[in-house]
Amino acid sequence: MTKDADSVTKRRIGVLALQGGFEAHERRLTELGHEPLRVRYAAQFSELDGLILPGGESTTHLKLIALEGLGPALEAFVATRKPVLATCAGLILSAKTVTGPAQASFGFLDVAVRRNAWGRQLDSFEAVADDSDVPLTFIRAPRIESVGPGVEVVLRYHGEPVLVRSGVFFGATFHPELTTDVRVHRQVFGGALNAATSAR
């Protein structure tokens, strides 16, 4: 992985909490000394120093974002260039192009992804990133099939990109929140100066 973000004071990091696995992200943020906030309303985005778009079911996320009228607030938040981590279904929502099947998305990251391309639920597996000991947990994970010129590949697995970034916006095909390793969250959001965790 590239160098971790510098240590920072405690940040309020939103976790989109419409559906999916947001609780584990909250635990990782707390371990880093940050304050997680479950985001369900448009007005909450103005309170945030960063944001996580978690895993879950991407089509359900899209329907609930539309139902709650969150799209404009989400797009406005990303435009502020505060740090964002999009994992699994969150990456699908953020991609420029989605296939397997085709699906609407916000296009925050210049990547093309294929849904469920690492396998269905029964094909879930754990692994370790290439040239690193960062643990990877894949659950109905998308594959990144191409990256645009402004996107940096941070981690690979079997040569394929599994963690990418464009500025302060990160996208992961795997679930970094499902292990006790906080390095991905630390790289995106930094660690608060008063954090008690000694995790990696």
Residues classed as catalytic = 88, 175, 177
User: 74: which 2 tokens?
Assistant: 């989400």
Q: Rounded to whole angstroms, how far apart are CA atoms 67 and 200?
A: 39
Q: Rounded to whole angstroms, how far apart are CA atoms 123 and 77?
A: 35
Helix axes 71-79, 58-67, angle to 10 degrees: 100
Asked if residue 101 has a cis previous peptide bond (ω within 30° of 0), the answer is yes
The count of other CB atoms within 10 Å of the CB of residue 133 is: 9
The count of other CB atoms within 10 Å of the CB of residue 199 is: 15
Q: Give 20's DSSP letter.
A: S
Q: Please name the residues in contact with 111: beta carbons below 8 A apart, sequence gap of 6 or more.
A: 91, 95, 96, 97, 144, 145, 146, 147, 148, 151, 164, 171
Sheet hosting strand 109-114, strand order edge to edge:
95-99, 109-114, 143-147
Placement of tokens 């930094």 in the chain? 190
Q: Are 124 and 175 in contact (CB under 8 A)?
A: no
